[in-house]
Homo-oligomer: A and B are copies of this chain.
Amino acid sequence: MKQEELSTPYCDKCAIERGSIFKYLSAEEINMLNFEKEFRQFKRGEILYHERSRISGFYCIHSGIIKVFKTGLDGKEQIIRFARPGDIIAYRSILSNEPACTSAKVIEDCRVCFIPSEILINLVKSNSNFAFELLKLACRELGEANSYITDIAQKTVRERLAEILLLLINDFGLDFQNYLQISLTREELSNIVGTATESVIRLLSEFKADNLLELNGRKIKILDKKGLEKISKVFG
């Protein structure tokens, strides 16, 4: 790990490199952010914030992976989305002025910047380009949520698992050996798909038997992406 990565990152660099939501801020605003923000580090398993709690700021992910989830009735998690470097989380609750409707937990050790609520509100009110970008972001997420609702309501677990694998490939990529670049427990996978852990295990075994993928513990090697697309029916 490079030395510079261990110190507090500069927002301007972050914004440019990652094309984050901050890319339309003025130099002055970036400086203000740099001054106001607080750098924090979290290890796998740590919680950034809890459902139902009032949040005093939002997080911009600098490195690592975070899962954003809701807790169902019997305590089962439903993973809503993942946050990667460049993403922001918890902005929804701040803007709608509601308690958090999700919890956020670290999947891969991460370094984040915490930015107080007022800063966000002020930026939205003073910089219309920033507000517009945020609006676009929220609208894109809303579109994804709508698709997801339809999928869960209409597709089989088998189809959904294939689709989620494709989504993960798309979001996190494959390494040079075609291994999926995110490592999830079977339970976490089941909490994205919205099914029982055992079902995911069985279906993964089936996919393996059908030569769609290989399994080495949590590492998943993708052998036949087209096959997964066919199962998931993404291209109708």
Of A11-19, A128-136, A173-181, A213-221, the stretch lying at the interface with chain B is: A128-136
Of A34-42, A71-79, A104-112, A201-209, the stretch lying at the interface with chain B is: A71-79
Which of B72, B136, B150 is A154 in contact with, Cβ under 8 Å? B72
Could you give, for residues 193-230 of chain A, a 1 whenever the CB lies within 8 Å of some chain B CB and a 0 otherwise?
Answer: 01100000000000000000000000000000000000
Q: A135 near B136 (CB under 8 angstroms)?
A: no
Taken together as a complex, chains A and B put the C-alpha atoms of A145 and B92 apart, in Å, by 12
Q: A142 near B145 (CB under 8 angstroms)?
A: yes
Q: B154 near A145 (CB under 8 angstroms)?
A: no
Residues of the B chain whose Cβ atoms lie less than 8 Å from the Cβ of A143: 92-93, 96, 98, 101
**Residues 33-70 of A contacting B (Cβ, < 8 Å):** 70
Residues of the B chain whose Cβ atoms lie less than 8 Å from the Cβ of A142: 92, 138, 141-142, 145
Q: Does A147 contact B (CB under 8 A)?
A: yes
CB distance from A69 to the nearest CB of B (A): 9
Q: Does A153 contact B (CB under 8 A)?
A: yes
Residues of the B chain whose Cβ atoms lie less than 8 Å from the Cβ of A91: 139
Q: A146 near B95 (CB under 8 angstroms)?
A: no
Taken together as a complex, chains A and B put the C-alpha atoms of A129 and B128 apart, in Å, by 10
Q: Does A231 contact B (CB under 8 A)?
A: no
Residues of the B chain whose Cβ atoms lie less than 8 Å from the Cβ of A101: 143, 146-147
Q: Does A10 contact B (CB under 8 A)?
A: no
Which of B80, B135, B138, B140 is A149 in contact with, Cβ under 8 Å? B80
Taken together as a complex, chains A and B put the C-alpha atoms of A101 and B140 apart, in Å, by 10
**Residue of chain B at shortest CB distance from A143:** B101
Which of B70, B139, B153, B194 is A96 in contact with, Cβ under 8 Å? B139
Q: A131 near B135 (CB under 8 angstroms)?
A: yes
Q: Does A167 contact B (CB under 8 A)?
A: no
Q: A132 near B136 (CB under 8 angstroms)?
A: no
Residues of the B chain whose Cβ atoms lie less than 8 Å from the Cβ of A74: 154
**Residues 112-168 of A contacting B (Cβ, < 8 Å):** 124-126, 128-129, 131-132, 134-136, 138-143, 145-150, 152-155
17 sampled A-B residue pairs with Cβ under 8 A: A70-B147, A70-B150, A72-B154, A72-B155, A73-B155, A78-B149, A80-B150, A93-B143, A96-B140, A98-B140, A101-B146, A124-B131, A125-B128, A125-B129, A148-B149, A149-B194, A153-B194
